[in-house]
Structure 1
Amino acid sequence: MPHGDLPLSPPADGGRGPGRHETPEQRADRQWTELLQELWVAQTGVQILFGLLLAVVFQPRFAELSDTDRAIHVVTVMLGSATAAALIGPVSYHRLLTGRRLKPQTVTLAARLTLLGLVLLFCTMCSALLLVLRVALHDALALWLVGAMALWFLVCWFALPARLLARSSFGQEG
């Protein structure tokens, strides 16, 4: 049972159903490990993107940006900051709550914050792409390209997993 099955609660059979044979504590440990691996991938990308966004203002060409492009940059930096906070937050939860017998609740909270972080990452990526394409293309094509890429992100990150989940749920009901 992946950590995305929220809220985390023990099954009626005490965690010993036809799938994995693990206690709720073992399930929480496994889900926590899986979540940390996922966060590691997302955090690396966010930290690189955020660092590049911070460096942009120190480039000579930044002074040439239009007021609109500067505003997009500020929004993108703020989104990047919020994304980093959301995706690093679970590490803080773990550190503050370790040893307090709250792992299932910690996993649930961290998984929700990670999902929020992915939504914020989506917004950050779209905003950064808009800024870069506006500077590179100087025309309205940038907005259309960002819209197409936003749709692609939504399909890859959310629609395909939602489709699999819907198919899986439908198969279990029938």
Structure 2
Amino acid sequence: MNDPHADAQHDGRDETATERADRNWEELMQELRVMQTGTQILTGFLLAVAFQPLFKDLSDQQRLLYIVLVLLAATATILALTPVGMHRVLFAQGRKAELVQAAHRIVKANMVVIAALTVGITVLIIDFTFNHVFAFIAGGAGLVVILLLWLGLPLLLRRDR
């Protein structure tokens, strides 16, 4: 299997494969802590919206988007917790390297879900407060910013290395 942290294997650290897997696992857990905090805030916001007096003023399309966003928030929460559940099952079996690889993939998938959730919330709020045109412009701009910062910048930094 390809190690998602292959560059870390050749970074001059004097560590065993087990030590590297442990370090990579701890780094992934820290990333998941950050993800989970942001996701919890977004989920809390979404859940509170349904109990606001103006919720009844949402159009059918806005309500559909709202439901999709709630499902995305739930998916992001589940994805963020999956590596922890996997760890509970596999930690004593000496399979940390496999666990790190699977968690790495899950974190990447969760980034996609969180990006969609963030853009979707922006679209919903701006659509409700202004109009469809501004909402789609803001959503498109948000998507571009996310792609530039989450993909473009790391690729640029990797190329400069």
Whether the TM-score (by the shorter chain) exceeds 0.5 is yes
Contact 2:4 2:101 in 1 (8 A): no
Q: 1:8 matched to which residue of 2?
A: 3
Take 2:47 and 2:132, find their aligned partners in 1: how far apart are those partners?
A: 25
State the Cα distance separating 1:62 from its structure 2 match: 0.7
Q: 1:130 matched to which residue of 2?
A: 123
1:119 and 2:119 aligned = no
Contact 2:79 2:107 in 1 (8 A): yes
Take 1:120 and 1:10, find their aligned partners in 2: how far apart are those partners?
A: 22
Which of 28, 32, 39 in structure 2 is aligned with 1:35?
Answer: 28
More helix by share: 2
State the Cα distance separating 1:95 from its structure 2 match: 1.3
Take 2:5 and 2:85, find their aligned partners in 1: how far apart are those partners?
A: 25
C-alpha spacing 1:69/1:10, structure 2 compared with 1 (3 Å): closer
After TM superposition, the structure 1 stretch with the greater mean CA deviation from structure 2, 74-83 or 157-166, is: 157-166
State the Cα distance separating 1:16 from its structure 2 match: 8.0
C-alpha spacing 1:155/1:103, structure 2 compared with 1 (3 Å): same
State the Cα distance separating 1:149 from its structure 2 match: 1.4
| Deviations 1:80-139, CA, capped at 9 Å, x for gaps | 111111111111111111111000000000010011001110000011110001011124
Take 2:147 and 2:36, find their aligned partners in 1: how far apart are those partners?
A: 19
1:152-167 matches, within 5 Å, as: 152-167=145-160
With normalisation by structure 2, the TM-score equals 0.91
Gaps of 5+ in 1: 1-5, 169-174
Residue-pair matches, total = 160
Gaps of 5+ in 2: none
Take 1:160 and 1:151, find their aligned partners in 2: how far apart are those partners?
A: 12
Structure with bigger gyration radius: 1
Aligned amino acid, residue 7 of structure 1: N
C-alpha spacing 1:21/1:123, structure 2 compared with 1 (3 Å): same
For residue 34 of structure 2, give the secondary structure of its aligned residue in structure 1.
helix
